Structures are given as C-alpha cells and as structure tokens.
Amino acid sequence: MKVPSSLPRLWHRIAWRSQVALRSTWTVLEGLITLSLRPAITKEGEGFLFIRLDGLGDFWLWLPFVAALRKAHPEKPFYLVANDLWADLALWTGLFDKVIPVQPVRLRRSFRYRRALLSELHRRIPPVEVLWQTTFTRRIVAEDWLAWNLPASKRIAWARDYHAAEPAILSYCIDKSLYRKVRRDPLPPLAHEWSRYHAWLQELEFPGLDWAIYTSLRDRLYRPSSSYAVALVGAGSPGRIPPVDLLRVLIEYVHRSTSFPVRLIGTAADRSRVASLIRPGVEDWLGKLTLREAAEQIRNAVLVVGLETGLGHIAATLGVPTLMMAGGGHWGRFIPYPPEVAFPLKVITYEMPCFGCGWMCQYQFSRSRTYPCIAQIPSHQAVESALSWIKALVRK
C-alpha cells in the first residue's frame, strides 16, 4: 500500500536523487573527457562475465540463478567482478573460474582507483562472449561504468529498478548504447529476487533455479561440534539495527530456554554497541571470523537469531532455523521468502502501511536512528517466535 509522501520522505528522495544524479553525470562526463565514447565491443569472446557489487545477501540469493547457468553451460569459463566484502566467499562456492574483488565506495568516488581497477580488469579478464548485468538496482557510476569499459560481444541487463533513482535521460541513453538487450521485467519492483530470477531463466528456456547449490555448500560447511546458538548483531545500515534491549531479551530467552551458549557474530565495530550483551552463556565472537568462517559457524548452529543481514539469509538457506528481525524498506523483495520455498526462516517486524518505501522513511529525517518498523517490534513477539523454533528443536 502506498501512502502520501511526507516531508521526511520527500527530503530523503531529493537528497538521494541529487547525490545519484551528480555522481552519474560526473561519470558520463569523465567518460567523454577520456574519449571512451563507445562501449568496448569485441567480435569474439570467451565465457560469461557477471558484475555484482551489492551486498552479501543480494549475492547469496543470486546463487541459484548463476548455478543454473553454470549447469547449462559447463564448458564456458565464468568470471565475476565482485564486492570485495564477499569476493573470497564467491570464489569458495566453486561457481566461478575467476573472481576479481572491487571496492564499491572507492569505485564511485575515486578517479584514480577507477583507472587502476580498469587496468587490472583488462589484464585478468579476457574479452567475453556475454556480459550479464544481473543486478536489479544497478548504478551508472558502478555496474554500468564497468560494463561500458570491459570488452564483450554481447551485453544483457534488467530494466533499471526505480529505487536506483538514476536520471531518466542518462539511463535511457546508456541502456540504448550499451546493452544488446534490456530485459523488461513483467514482475512488480518488489517481487522477490528468486521470482525474478526464475522468470528470467524461463525466458531462456532453462528448467529453473538450481536449489542444489545450497545443499552442496551446506555439506561442505558441516563440522561436527557441540550445540550452540548464534546471534547476528550487525547490519550494514544503522537504521536497520533494532534496539539493544530487544536483542537482549531475545538472546537471554534463547540461552535460558535451551541452555545452549549463544555466540555473538558481527564485526569488531559492533562490540561497543552490544558489549552489555556479553555475559556468562553469551560468547563474544565479534570481529574474530572471516566471512567463510562465519558461514561455517552459522551452518553448524542449532538456531540463528538476529537482524536482517546476508548472514541471516545464509543461515536460512543452509537449513538452520532462523529468526530474523526486519523492517519494511524492501518488503517482498528479499523477505519474507515466497511461500513455495521451504527454507526455515521466520521474519518478525512491526507491520506498517508504508512497507516498500525503499528505506525512504516518512517518519524521520535521520538515517542513523532505528527505523520505526524495526524499533517498534514487540519483544513478546520476538520471544514467541523463538519459542516455536525451540519447541521444534526439543522434539528433535
């Protein structure tokens, strides 16, 4: 349901669109100045190239799509230009022959970094047959800039997500000049990512998403260990972090009801915010794990609770009962999962009519304060949701 724009939402939209427009326009002007007037086209290319610079959760939910392509084209090399946050994990999946890490923030802001990165990419990635632009919310300054400068025989992309807030004229000109095909998605903008990928595969006459990739990764991460629970306490945006008191109630309940130790997983930067949670029975693992090690800890837990994060999606898709406290910014696009998907994820939130706002919150100007749809999650709802998982574990 849509609600009328309030002053805070209008302010967020103007600020965001202005920032995006400035960076996108500057990137196009930079290209004109450096004489890269046409996309890098090659008559012959080898393999598939993917560009993914978004978050860990976006990447992890994308894996069944690329696994299906891999199964259909086992003879082709697969190259990935990846967010350096999760590039090592991407290489570990075994789906890609080569993964090149990129720092998205530096890519957007530093001319020197862009030039050095482009030289490295040209050295490490040969001209390819198809460049797949499978990021729905792609940006001119990042994904499109890379696609423009990397040699490919053919480029295909999704039609641009309106949440990307790119200038309409620039978007039209770039899409027209750069991509052989821009796929017009019949699904609504907030359709789940898996539904979107499935529809694209059907269009390509492939069987569908390859869910076996999650089973394969789950088996590779298995390590016999003692029983413990995991609490995920970090998130990419301050506004998406619930109050510490809510986390405390949930963690204490899980520990008291199961007698399992609860391991806090996050970054070292999270420690100052959640230091009060550390006590007997609650273990501090903050900043002590690589991403793959964190995935291993999660896969071998009996229960995972915490925030809406990429690690939460990893937990659920690896078959671990997962309780996720989440807001409504992209409600439907990532959570909840489609009803036909049987992963053990339970999402709790404070439902509001403004869900689907794209995190352009109409109730507050600050993005550092917790969004209302997260801040107002009742603690009893979190505890009751955890209770259902715990009862199921006891029955086992």
> Looking at the domain assignment, is residue 5 inside a domain?
no
Read off the pLDDT of each residue in 123-149 and give the average, rounded to a whole number: 92
Look up residue 309 and give its DSSP letter: S
Q: Which of 217, 246, 261 is the last residue of a domain?
A: 217
Q: Which of 217, 244, 265 is the last residue of a domain?
A: 217
Q: What's the pLDDT score for residue 108?
A: 86
Q: What's the pLDDT score for residue 266?
A: 93
Query: Residue 5: which pLDDT band, with cuts at 50, 70 and 90?
Result: low
Q: What's the pLDDT score for residue 1?
A: 37
Q: Which of 217, 242, 269 is the last residue of a domain?
A: 217
Are 91 and 188 members of one domain?
A: yes
pLDDT digits (tens, 9 = 90+) for 336-386: 999 999 999 999 899 999 898 888 888 888 878 899 999 999 888 888 888
**Strand, coil or helix: what is 28?**
helix
pLDDT digits (tens, 9 = 90+) for 55-111: 999 999 999 999 999 999 999 999 999 999 999 999 999 999 999 999 999 998 888
Q: What's the pLDDT score for residue 3?
A: 43
pLDDT digits (tens, 9 = 90+) for 215-260: 999 999 998 888 999 999 987 788 888 889 999 999 999 998 889 9
How far, in Å, are 105, 248, 271, 325, 379 from residue 234 at the CA level? 19, 14, 9, 12, 19
Residue 124 to residue 100: CA distance in whole angstroms = 8
Q: What's the pLDDT score for residue 34?
A: 59
User: In which domain, by residue range, is 388 found?
Assistant: 226-395
Mean pLDDT score across all residues of the chain: 88
Cα 182 to chain centroid distance, Å, stands at 22
Given a cut of 70, whether residue 396 has pLDDT beyond it is: no
Which tokens hold the place of 305?
A: 């609770």
Are 201 and 314 members of one domain?
A: no
Beta-bridge mates of residue 128: 152
Q: For residue 280, give the CATH number of its domain.
A: 3.40.50.2000
184 exposure class (CB count in 10 Å sphere: 0-12, 13-18, 19+)? exposed
- CB 174 within 8 Å of CB 150: no
Are 207 and 171 members of one domain?
A: yes
Q: What's the pLDDT score for residue 41?
A: 78
Query: Residue 127: which pLDDT band, with cuts at 50, 70 and 90?
Result: very high
Q: What's the pLDDT score for residue 32?
A: 55
Are 232 and 292 members of one domain?
A: yes
- CB 81 within 8 Å of CB 52: yes
Q: What's the pLDDT score for residue 229?
A: 95
Residue 337 to residue 150: CA distance in whole angstroms = 35
- How many domains is the chain partitioned into structurally? 2
Q: What's the pLDDT score for residue 360?
A: 86
Query: Residue 6: which pLDDT band, with cuts at 50, 70 and 90?
Result: confident
pLDDT digits (tens, 9 = 90+) for 263-299: 999 999 999 989 999 999 999 999 999 999 999 999 9
Residue 155 to residue 89: CA distance in whole angstroms = 26
Q: Please give the share of the chain, as a percent, with pLDDT higher than 70.
A: 94
Which tokens hold the place of 376?
A: 């107002």
Cα 56 to chain centroid distance, Å, stands at 4
Phi, psi values for residue 100, rounded to 5°: -110, 115
Are 239 and 135 members of one domain?
A: no
- CB 214 within 8 Å of CB 64: yes
Query: Residue 2: which pLDDT band, with cuts at 50, 70 and 90?
Result: very low
Q: What's the pLDDT score for residue 29?
A: 67
Count H helices, E strands: the chain?
A: 15, 12
> Looking at the domain assignment, is residue 275 inside a domain?
yes
Q: What's the pLDDT score for residue 23?
A: 73
Given a cut of 50, whether residue 4 has pLDDT beyond it is: no
358 exposure class (CB count in 10 Å sphere: 0-12, 13-18, 19+)? buried
> Looking at the domain assignment, is residue 24 inside a domain?
no
